[in-house]
Amino acid sequence: MSTSLVSLASLVSAFNPVVPQIRVAAIIARDDQVLLVEHRKRGQRYWVLPGGRVQGSETLEAGLRRELREELSLKARVGPLVIVCETLAPDRHVVNLIFQAEIGEGSEPRLDEHDPVLAGWQWVAVNRLPRMDFRPPIADPLRSVIREGFAGPVRTLGDTWRPEKT
């Protein structure tokens, strides 16, 4: 590669600091409900599947188990990968890997009170998801994988980013 192309690539990289992040999340379903976590970020409140960013040298499964333990004090059995989607926003690029997970019968989440992003948690009827500010906006595929008992193929949804509501 020529010196000018290498310099151009370095220049573009310097002005585009968005580096893809990997976020793992869990679909924890009970009856016809799914466990959601309310986030408070950038002056907004919205709902997400529990989970978070994978750290340096941990596996996807270990990262998800750690996030569930830190966020909600839950021990979970991580099942299959069921949904892959991206959030390619102007200021961030997140690859979402969403797994089915199970917690013990009678286990109740306990929110990490020290995390300022976490505003609450709730068991939500899956038919309510389309009417909520649920991110990424994957209510229909999520309902489908739950209805199929997580037995279907992995759904690859591509970029699901939508401009935030103001």
Question: In this predicted model, what pLDDT tens digit does every residue of 97-154 receive, in sequence order?
Answer: 999 999 988 888 999 989 999 999 999 999 999 999 999 999 999 999 999 999 989 9
Q: Which long-range contacts (CB under 8 A, 24 or more apart) does 19-22 make?
A: 19/93, 20/93, 20/94, 20/95, 21/53, 21/92, 21/93, 21/94, 21/95, 22/53, 22/54, 22/60, 22/94, 22/95, 22/97
Instruction: Report yes or no: 134 and 57 within 8 Å, Cβ to Cβ.
Output: no
Q: Which residue has the tokens 């976020």?
A: 23
pLDDT confidence tier of residue 11, bands split at 50, 70 and 90: low
Query: pLDDT value at position 135?
Result: 92
Tell me what the mean pLDDT of segment 29-43 comes to.
92
How much is the pTM?
0.85
The span from the CA of 45 to the CA of 119, in Å, is 8
In this structure, what token pair is assigned to residue 48? 């997400």
Answer yes or no: is pLDDT of 2 > 60: no
Task: Provide the mean pLDDT of the chain.
Answer: 88
Per-residue pLDDT band at 5 (split at 50, 70, 90): low
**pLDDT category of residue 65 using cuts at 50, 70 and 90:** very high
Q: What's the gap between Cα 152 and its chain centre?
A: 20
Where does the pLDDT of residue 53 fall: very low under 50, low under 70, confident under 90, or very high at 90 and above?
Answer: very high
Q: Note the pLDDT of residue 140.
A: 92
All domains in the chain, ordered by first residue: 21-159 (3.90.79.10)
